[in-house]
Chains A and B, each alone.
Chain A
Amino acid sequence: MRCLFMRQLLVSLLLFLVGLQASAQSTDSSRVDDDEDYGSAELAGGGSSRSYASARIVGTSPQRFITLAFDHQLGYDMNLSDWGEFADDSIPQYGRAQRVKSTGGLRFNASIPVISRNNLVWQLGGNYWESRYQMEEPIVNDILAPVRNVVATALKEGGLRTAGLNTTIYKPLNAEQFLLVQASVDMSGDFGIELQPVVRTSAAVIWGKRPHERKQWGVGLVRTYRVGALNYLPVYMLNWTAPNRRWGFESLLPARASIRYNIDRNSMLLGGFELEGQSYRIERLSLFERGEISPPISFEIRRGELRPRLEYLRQLKGYWWMHAQAGIRLDYSFDADELQGGKEFFRGFFGDQPFAMINSLGNTPYFQLGINFVSP
């Protein structure tokens, strides 16, 4: 009996002590609670917070995840030469001009985040652009210029299109510096349901700095088809917003540049230019034998356009924005090359490889209207 009593007494004492201990613990916390000085606190896991350069600055035009647009150029003259070997593309070799009533079509772009964290952004995307040519009947009776007719007929009947896949990686190195890498593979030509066997690749690498929330700049190198043919160029990126957040500048030279005016938080106006281009394969002039180890040639129109323009962006609802562009389409290049074996070559600004055709397009106004799903 005495033993039982002692045991019970001991258990009670133990419970009592547990109660005391719990009481003490409930008022003793190493966590920052209700009323501490938050400024003097430190990270629980040790170390210091690591901040990373954001991919964007304040005030810029919204980043577009998905875009669907319609592009339209008014009428112009198309001057096509015969097929030959032309050393100098500044000397016209034209016959009669082909009148184009209008050019235009659908444009679709998508760039979807695969990884989106403050220390890494990786996006995958695709694009599809069409250019349909509404033109008067080609000069089929001109027996002296059959290739000119073939090209005109190809454009009239099928138009040109480009379809591609792209990827972008943004890697901030620390709070100010970042790396930007882009790469794309594009199939461009007058292909239809049957895809063509030739693709062209582009890439860019930029190292940059974001010194504060209103400025971002970078330098790098690009492999590009924006001038129609393959070229390697230095690039300079500059994005800037004024302290009053009304004005700004966005550029990725030499591809594009714009001055920006933020009308309000839901709309803005941009004035500038963009260089567009691709190398478009004309199937019926490209003598590919499927199954052959060494296809003969790929006949490609090196299409490059410079588009000075005004662009109006406006929020429709939530993250849906519309854009409207109006400007001039200036012809940079519409010459053609024969690529032996379908393999690309590098002419740049100083190469002397001959052109297969010397062509030019008259300049003309253009318009574009589109809808975009944008990043917050």
Chain B
Amino acid sequence: MLRISLLFVILSAALLACTGGGEKLSMETGKVVLLASGPLYEGSNTATVEWIPAPEAVSGKKITSARVSKIRLMGSGEYADLFSDITFSLAAPGADMRRVGVLNPVAVGDSIWELQVADEQKNIEDFFKGKPITLVADVNLKRDLEADLNLTAEVVFETENKK
């Protein structure tokens, strides 16, 4: 009886250790610059940048779930009345493109924009499989822009890693 109880306790402890809650981490892109090469015309345009998560944040870890919690874009003063709307997506080899943020309409006069983050974010953890992540900003311009479009982005991911 004692042996059975001991075995039960050991097995339970092992089970708890294996299925215990994952480690929750916050991962930030820092300031990255998305570029759309000019000249650009009124209407739909796309700015992109490739971002590689810091190796120490992903190596040796299995990210079991992830979601974007914050998207902030910044631009120069001349962009204050440039955008009618902004849509933000993630793209990467081995993962389906996901739209993760929208700002519509874009307020006139601002040069820092906090996007509405999507409630439903499926399979964002697929983006953390060792390949570069392309940050994609689809912007509708109210007028032509002769120069390149540079948008600085800060994106925050909340991840859960398997220990």
- Taking Cβ atoms with an 8 Å cutoff, the residues of A that contact B are 34-38
Which among A34, A35, A36, A38 has the highest number of chain B CB atoms within 10 Å? A35
Query: Is B8 part of the contact surface with A, judged by Cβ < 8 Å?
Result: no
Docked pose: A35 CA to B45 CA in angstroms: 8
Docked pose: A37 CA to B39 CA in angstroms: 13
Docked pose: A37 CA to B45 CA in angstroms: 12
Label chain A's interface by main secondary structure: loop
Within the complex, the shortest CB–CB distance from A335 to chain B, in Å, comes to 58
One digit per residue, 1 when the CB lies within 8 angstroms of any chain A CB and 0 when it does not, for chain B 36-59 equals: 000111010100000000000000
How many inter-chain contacts with C-beta < 8 Å in the A-B complex? 9
Using Cβ atoms and an 8 Å threshold, which residues of chain A touch B40?
34-35
Label chain B's interface by main secondary structure: strand
Which among B39, B40, B41, B45 has the highest number of chain A CB atoms within 10 Å? B41
What are 9 A-to-B residue pairs whose CB atoms are below 8 Å? Answer: A34-B40, A34-B45, A35-B39, A35-B40, A35-B41, A35-B45, A36-B41, A37-B41, A38-B43
Docked pose: A34 CA to B45 CA in angstroms: 8
Taking residues whose C-beta sits less than 8 angstroms from the other chain, chain B's interface range is under 10
Using Cβ atoms and an 8 Å threshold, which residues of chain B touch A34?
40, 45
Docked pose: A38 CA to B43 CA in angstroms: 9
- Quick one: closest B residue to A35, CB to CB? B41
Docked pose: A249 CA to B14 CA in angstroms: 61
- Quick one: closest B residue to A38, CB to CB? B43
Within the complex, the shortest CB–CB distance from B129 to chain A, in Å, comes to 26
Closest 9 CB pairs of A and B: A35-B41, A35-B40, A35-B39, A38-B43, A36-B41, A37-B41, A35-B45, A34-B45, A34-B40
- Quick one: closest A residue to B40, CB to CB? A35
* Further 7 A-B residue pairs, CB within 8 A, beyond A35-B41, A38-B43: A34-B40, A34-B45, A35-B39, A35-B40, A35-B45, A36-B41, A37-B41
In B38-93, the 8 Å CB interface with A consists of 39-41, 43, 45
Docked pose: A35 CA to B40 CA in angstroms: 6
Using Cβ atoms and an 8 Å threshold, which residues of chain A touch B45?
34-35
Docked pose: A161 CA to B40 CA in angstroms: 68
Using Cβ atoms and an 8 Å threshold, which residues of chain A touch B43?
38
- Quick one: closest B residue to A37, CB to CB? B41
- Quick one: closest A residue to B145, CB to CB? A35
Within the complex, the shortest CB–CB distance from B136 to chain A, in Å, comes to 15
Docked pose: A174 CA to B23 CA in angstroms: 59
Docked pose: A35 CA to B41 CA in angstroms: 5
Using Cβ atoms and an 8 Å threshold, which residues of chain B touch A36?
41
Docked pose: A34 CA to B39 CA in angstroms: 9
Using Cβ atoms and an 8 Å threshold, which residues of chain B touch A35?
39-41, 45
Within the complex, the shortest CB–CB distance from A60 to chain B, in Å, comes to 26
- Quick one: closest A residue to B39, CB to CB? A35
Using Cβ atoms and an 8 Å threshold, which residues of chain B touch A37?
41
Docked pose: A34 CA to B48 CA in angstroms: 14
In B19-40, the 8 Å CB interface with A consists of 39-40
Within the complex, the shortest CB–CB distance from A54 to chain B, in Å, comes to 26
Within the complex, the shortest CB–CB distance from A354 to chain B, in Å, comes to 67
Within the complex, the shortest CB–CB distance from B35 to chain A, in Å, comes to 13
Using Cβ atoms and an 8 Å threshold, which residues of chain A touch B39?
35
Docked pose: A34 CA to B43 CA in angstroms: 11
Which among A34, A36, A37 has the highest number of chain B CB atoms within 10 Å? A34
Within the complex, the shortest CB–CB distance from A41 to chain B, in Å, comes to 12
Within the complex, the shortest CB–CB distance from A39 to chain B, in Å, comes to 9
Docked pose: A37 CA to B42 CA in angstroms: 9
Docked pose: A64 CA to B110 CA in angstroms: 50
- Quick one: closest B residue to A39, CB to CB? B43
Docked pose: A36 CA to B39 CA in angstroms: 11
- Quick one: closest A residue to B41, CB to CB? A35
Within the complex, the shortest CB–CB distance from A183 to chain B, in Å, comes to 42
Within the complex, the shortest CB–CB distance from B114 to chain A, in Å, comes to 28
Within the complex, the shortest CB–CB distance from A32 to chain B, in Å, comes to 11
Docked pose: A36 CA to B45 CA in angstroms: 11
- Quick one: closest A residue to B46, CB to CB? A34
Docked pose: A58 CA to B126 CA in angstroms: 35
Using Cβ atoms and an 8 Å threshold, which residues of chain B touch A38?
43
Within the complex, the shortest CB–CB distance from A226 to chain B, in Å, comes to 45
Within the complex, the shortest CB–CB distance from A296 to chain B, in Å, comes to 67
Docked pose: A36 CA to B41 CA in angstroms: 7
- Quick one: closest A residue to B141, CB to CB? A35
Docked pose: A37 CA to B43 CA in angstroms: 9
- Quick one: closest B residue to A36, CB to CB? B41
One digit per residue, 1 when the CB lies within 8 angstroms of any chain A CB and 0 when it does not, for chain B 106-127 equals: 0000000000000000000000
